[in-house]
Structure 1
């Protein structure tokens, strides 16, 4: 079952916890989606946006996404999981020297 695989992969205690975590990811995605247009409208008109602008937006929205993810994780009682998730994700961006 899909929930069991996710539970094992994420080292969670129950399938219910997997459901809550998936809800947090969904809430975060919807929030970022709803915030996109108002934020972009403050910066530039729709006609003025090009692929460079869009690329820069996606790079800059990443920290906002993580903050929203941590916020929802806290609200749903999964802050420990999401703090660890964000740390692991950010560590993947670091370059080995």
Structure 2
């Protein structure tokens, strides 16, 4: 835990707990929201080809996750950490132009 605190430049155990909670809640929520959105597009798990269904579902999860990560980070009082995390991730993926 000490190494993570140093790497993430955080000072308290509360911040660590809040960050872990944000990651957990964001992942669960984005996965949960992706199902209805795929169905809204007319693709159903039972009647669609599995590759098409899961590919589209994963592609839908990605932008939902990015938005929710910053939103839940703000709700948990960790906006600055997650905004910096988000920018770093987008730049590494070559999507830094979206931030300009």
Q: Is TM > 0.5 for Structure 1 vs Structure 2?
A: yes
CA deviations 1:11-67 (Å, max 9, x no partner) are 111122111100000110111122122112112122114313422332332121110
2:98 alignment counterpart: none
Query: How large is the Cα RMSD of the aligned pairs?
Result: 1.6
Q: Where does structure 1 differ by over 4 angstroms across 4 or more consecutive aligned residues?
A: none
The CA distance in 1 between the partners of 2:91 and 2:74, in whole Å, is 21
Aligned residues: 93
In structure 2, runs of 5+ residues without a counterpart are: 96-100
TM-score by length of 1: 0.84
1:21 alignment counterpart: 19
1:1-97 matches, cutoff 5 A: 3-43=1-41, 44-46=43-45, 47-94=47-94
In structure 1, runs of 5+ residues without a counterpart are: none
Q: Which moved more, 1:48-57 or 1:62-71?
A: 48-57
Give the conservation status (yes or no) of the 8 Å contact 1:4–1:15: no
TM-score by length of 2: 0.82
The CA distance in 2 between the partners of 1:34 and 1:94, in whole Å, is 27
